[in-house]
Amino acid sequence: MRVILMGPPGSGKGTQAKLLSQRFGVPHVSSGDLLRSAVRRKSPMGVQAKKYMDRGELVPDDIILGAVEERLRESDCARGFILDGYPRTLAQDGALSATLARMQTRIDSVVSLSVSREEVVKRLSGRRTCRECGASYHIIFDPPRNPGICNQCNGELFQRDDDQEDTVMARLEVYERNTAPLVAAYRQSGLLCEVDGVGGQEQVLERILSRVQQRE
Ligand code: AMP
């Protein structure tokens, strides 16, 4: 199963990608996680990417394209993957199509989660992320058992710099400018499943599962 998950920041892409990855037994490939891990390791890619990420801007294609292609070519992606946060521009879509053609495969479904601007700001300003395993919580809607501590690994929870309100606004604008045209292109191609992203995690998952299909 090869699925692309799209949606504005805070639409629940990461959460749904993890659930789909468990359901189909294929890896969750998140371009944001690849970049954050490079930033933590202070690799050359991470050092370059950090300044864009801190401002809520897209990391330039020359930094991200190769990293995602390399990940998709790893053996665990041979049976499929859930792609979260990539592609975000028409140029990235072109690069992905070329990579998939080289791998002699193609995307089964593109899912776009819709959530209002107000809901995104409410979700992201309360989001807390585990420094160790990347699990995410919400201080009101999905609090950890012990404040500030991850339920899964006891790691420390923190607020991502790019979840501060002014950066969230910048990320939403970037989404409207760069990614909304790509969603429109997928709609035209007939691959797009538009799913209401408001509701409980399981409820949204069921909506997605009722729409995605594996192509022969
Ligand atoms: P995310 O975790 O998907 O919200 O991504 C966090 C940040 O990483 C974004 O605001 C961008 O700065 C960067 N990023 C993630 N994926 C991409 C991508 N496909 N293209 C460019 N920048 C990206």
What is the tens place of the pLDDT at every residue in 20-63?
999 999 999 999 999 999 999 999 999 999 999 998 899 999 89
**Tokens standing for residue 208:** 């997605």
Contact 157, 149 (CB under 8 A): yes
Task: Evaluate whether residue 200 is within a structural domain.
Answer: yes
Q: Phi and psi dihedrals of 108, rounded to 5? A: -85, -45
Total of domains in the chain: 1
Task: Evaluate whether residue 124 is within a structural domain.
Answer: no
Ligand 1 neighbour 31 (Cβ under 6 A): yes
CA distance 89 to 101: 18
Mean pLDDT of 162-172: 89
Task: Evaluate whether residue 99 is within a structural domain.
Answer: yes
Query: What does pTM read for this prediction?
Result: 0.88
Task: Evaluate whether residue 149 is within a structural domain.
Answer: no
Task: Evaluate whether residue 42 is within a structural domain.
Answer: yes
Which of 35, 51, 71, 92 for a ligand 1 pocket mutation test, highest count of atoms within 8 Å of Cβ?
A: 35
Task: Give me the domain span that covers residue 54.
Answer: 2-115+179-215
Residue 187 annotated to the active site: no
Q: What is the pLDDT of residue 212?
A: 87
Task: Evaluate whether residue 143 is within a structural domain.
Answer: no
Q: What is the pLDDT of residue 214?
A: 61
Ligand 1 neighbour 35 (Cβ under 6 A): yes
Task: Evaluate whether residue 12 is within a structural domain.
Answer: yes
Question: In this structure, what CATH number is given to the domain that contains residue 10?
Answer: 3.40.50.300
Ligand 1 neighbour 85 (Cβ under 6 A): yes
Task: Evaluate whether residue 162 is within a structural domain.
Answer: no
